[in-house]
Amino acid sequence: MPETSAGSRTPKAAADGARRSLGTGPGRLLVALYGVFTVAAASRAAYQLIAQFDRAPLAYILSAVSAVVYAFILFSLVRGGEGARRAAVVCCALELVGVLGVGTWTLVDRSAFPDATVWSNFGMGYLFIPIFLPVTGLLWLRRARRA
Amino acid sequence: MIDALTVAIGVTALALAAWCGFAAYRDEPTKDWHFIGMAVVSLLGIIQLVVGLVQLGSGGTPKDGTAIFVAYLIGAAACVPATGFLSLSERTRWGSATVAAGAVVLAVLEVRLFDIWGGGHA
C-alpha cells in the first residue's frame, strides 16, 4: 500500500514542512463533522432566535453559543498552523466543558429548558456526537503537534 | 411520492456509507465507482429538493413548518456532494471515512425530513 495509514507511521506530508495542515488525514473527517455541526447549530439557533425567541430564550442562546464555537474550530482546522492549533485546543476544551455543563444542567433543572439545545442531555438528540467530537478533536490536535 | 423518495434516499445513503466505510476499513481512498455512487445519491437528493419545493408550491404544508422543511431539504441535497469534494483532495482512507460520515448524516436528515413532512398519514 503506497497510501499512508492511520497507525504509527507518520504521513509523508509531515516531512515537507513544519506547518502541517490540521485539515488533512484524520483531520479531514473532523472538518466534515465540524462543518455539519456548524451548519446544524447555526441554522437551528438562527431559526429559533428569530421565530420563537420567547419560548426558551436560554436554550436558544446556548445553541447560538455552540454554533459560534463549532464555527471557530472549523475555521482553525482549515487554516492550520501552530497558532490556529492552539486556538482550536482552547475551543475544543470549551466545547467539552459546554457539552458536559449544559448536559448536566438540562438533567438537573429541566424547568429552565422548555425547549432543547444542541447540547441538551449530552447531545442525545444528535446521536451523542457532540460529546465525542471535542474528545476526538483534542486527541487529534495533540497528535498534530508531535507530527 | 415524497415519503417513498425519503425512504429510498435513506436506504441508498446507508448503503453508500457502508460502501465507503468498507473502503476506509481497507485503507483505500474513494475511487471512480464510489464517485458514481455519490453522484446517484446526490441526484436523488436534488430530485427530492425539487419534488419538495413543487409540493410546497402546490399547497402542501409540512407538519413542522415550511422554513424547517426547506432548510432540511437543502441540507440533504448538499450533504453528499460536499463530503465528496472533501474526499477529492484527501486521497487516503480518511477521504473515504469522510464520505461515509456524510452519508450517515444524510440518512439521519431523511429520518428527520420524514417527521417534518408528517410522513405516513399526510
Question: Could you tell me what percent of chain B has a pLDDT over 70?
Answer: 98
Residues of B in contact with A40 (CB under 8 A): 75
Residue A122 structural domain: 22-146
B115 touches chain A (CB under 8 A): no
Task: Give the number of other Cβ atoms within 10 Å of residue B46's Cβ.
Answer: 14
- Position A147 scores a pLDDT of 64
- Closest by Cβ to B97, choosing from A4, A29, A47: A29
Task: Answer yes or no: are the C-beta atoms of A71 and A42 closer than 8 Å.
Answer: yes
Is residue B62 domain-resident?
Answer: yes
pLDDT band at B119 (very low <50, low <70, confident <90, very high): confident
Residue A12 domain-assigned?
A: no
B102 contacts A25? CB cut-off 8 A: no
Identify whether B122 is part of a domain.
no
Instruction: Quote the CA–CA distance of B28 and A3 in Å, as a whole number.
Output: 8
Distance CA A5, CA B27 (A): 7
Write the pLDDT tens digit of every residue in B72-116.
999 999 999 999 999 999 999 999 999 999 999 999 999 999 999
Find all residues with CB under 8 Å of B115, minimum gap 6, and list them: B63, B64
Q: What ipTM does the predicted assembly reach?
A: 0.91
Residue at A128 is within a domain: yes
Single-letter amino acid, residue B2: I
| Chain A positions in Cβ-Cβ contact with residue B29 (cut-off 8 Å) | 3
Residue A37 falls inside a structural domain:
yes
**Domain interval for residue B50:** 2-117
Chain B residues touching residue A28 (CB < 8 angstroms)? 86-87, 90, 94-95, 98
B100, part of any domain: yes
d(CA A96, CA A137): 10
C-alpha distances in Å from residue B27, one per residue of A9, A70, A115, B72, B107: 13, 29, 42, 32, 24
Number of domains in chain A: 1
Over 50: is that where the pLDDT of A32 sits? Answer: yes
The answer to whether residues B98 and B90 touch, using CB atoms and an 8 Å cutoff, is: yes
For B22-33, b/e burial (b = at least 16 CB within 10 A) is ebbeeebbbeee
Per the listing, cell 455512487 goes with B37
Do residues A136 and A119 touch, judged by C-beta distance below 8 A?
Answer: no
What are the residues whose beta carbons fall under 8 Å from the beta carbon of A54, sequence distance 6 or more? none
Residue A70's pLDDT band, with cuts at 50, 70 and 90, is: very high
Domain count across chain B = 1
Assigned domain for A68 exists: yes
Residue B121: which pLDDT band, with cuts at 50, 70 and 90?
low
